[in-house]
Every structure is written in structure tokens, then in C-alpha cells.
Structure 1
Amino acid sequence: MKFRLATVAWSVIYLLLLLSLLTPLRIFTVFLLIVPGVVLFSSLPFKGFLIHVIPVLLIIALQDVYLLLPAIYFLIPALLMGRVYKKGSTCFSGVDDRNGCDFSRVVGCIAHRYVYLRV
């Protein structure tokens, strides 16, 4: 997919989902945060993905700097899932230990540090 109105719409959806983390709806929006990142990464080339995501992250940083941490936290698995989707591999090939690192351990370590920084 090239630069189209649909990719701009997914960027706006991603921005709105990140901004909704400031509301009591964060319980529901956390489950949807990874979807726009995966769609954008799998449908755009990497430079196009950066053109869409960097302005969203800058707007989030201007709104609340602490929202950057969950944004980046959910962007990392979105990149991995989008990469696996572009390759046409199976869904579990991105998270198992045969690819050189155990992705679940990395995400667990980041989540552990995030919880202790917020307390």
C-alpha cells in the first residue's frame, strides 16, 4: 500500500488511541494499541512508516511525555509483527527463541521496569 488516505486514517486512529490513554477508557484502549502500528508497518515501506509515526509520537510528547513509554512499548511488538507479516512467516516465528533472542523475555523486562517506574 502506498501513501493513501487509508494510511493517514490509521495514523489518526493511532493518535486517538494514544490520547485516550489519558481518559478512563485506557483499560479498553490498551487492547487495541498494537493494531494501528502493525497495519502501518505492514502496509508501508519503512520510511513511510516513520513519516506517519514520528509526528504521532511528537504530538503525544507535547501532550504528555509519560505517554511516550506505552507508545514505544506497544510499537516494538507492532514492528516485529509487521515484519513477520511482510515475510509471510507463521505468527509464532517472531516470538520464539529460534530467531536469536527470546522476545517475551525482552518485553517482560521492559514491562517490569515500567511498573516499578510508575510506582
Structure 2
Amino acid sequence: MIAAGEKRAIQLNEMDELRNEAYETAKIYKERTKKWHDKHILRKDFFAGQKVLLFNSRLRLFPGKLKSRWCGPFTILQVFPSGVIEVRHDEKGTVFKVNGQRLKPYLEVNFDQQRTSITLHDPE
């Protein structure tokens, strides 16, 4: 009986060691994953007067296959230190505050529609 008790105590100690090793490896994995993720985050800096697009995150049942989730352009009025940004819709003139993570810079492209043409040929 004493030998069986000692064997059981050794097995319990081995199980504790395996569990501790599992916790340590999980901790190392989480640290490495967080470090990789943080390294790949791009910092967005906005300033007043800049034009931006707003991400439309409302869930819809059938949003449309080719419909863009970005709307705008909006003009930034004020940037707060907490990451909140006050924007104004260029067409409607409405002013509201949004989270800075929902914005991306708007790249304006000016091209002459009169001079731009595409020639298509029939492959016969």
C-alpha cells in the first residue's frame, strides 16, 4: 500500500509539471503572436483639413455583392488625443465624431475625363 501511495504521488507531481509546461508554452506562444501582430499594425495619423473615408460597419442581411463599405469623403475638423475624430460630410455638411480606427485617408485623383479614352478592338 505504501508503494502504491508513493507511485500515485509521483504521478500527481508529473501531471503538475506537465500542466505547468503547458501554461508556459501557451504564454510564450501568446507573447510571440502579440509581438508579430503589433509589428504589422500600421499607424494612422490624421490632421485637421484632411479628407478621409468612413467605414460603414452596419450589418445588413444582403448588403450587395459589389457595394463598397467605405463612404465619403469627409473632412476632418478636429483630432482629439483619445483617438476620437470630428468629421464633416462634404456634401451634406453634417458634423459628428467617430473612432479614428474607422477612417482611412482619401486619395483624390484628378484626371481629365475629356482626354481619357479607351479603345476596344474586336478580336476577330
Higher relative contact order (CA 8 A, sep 6+): 1
* TM-score of the two chains, using structure 1 as the length reference: 0.20
* TM-score of the two chains, using structure 2 as the length reference: 0.19
Between structure 1 and structure 2, the one with the greater Rg is 2
Instruction: From the two aligned structures, give the one with the greater helix fraction.
Output: 1
Instruction: From the two aligned structures, give the one with the greater strand fraction.
Output: 2
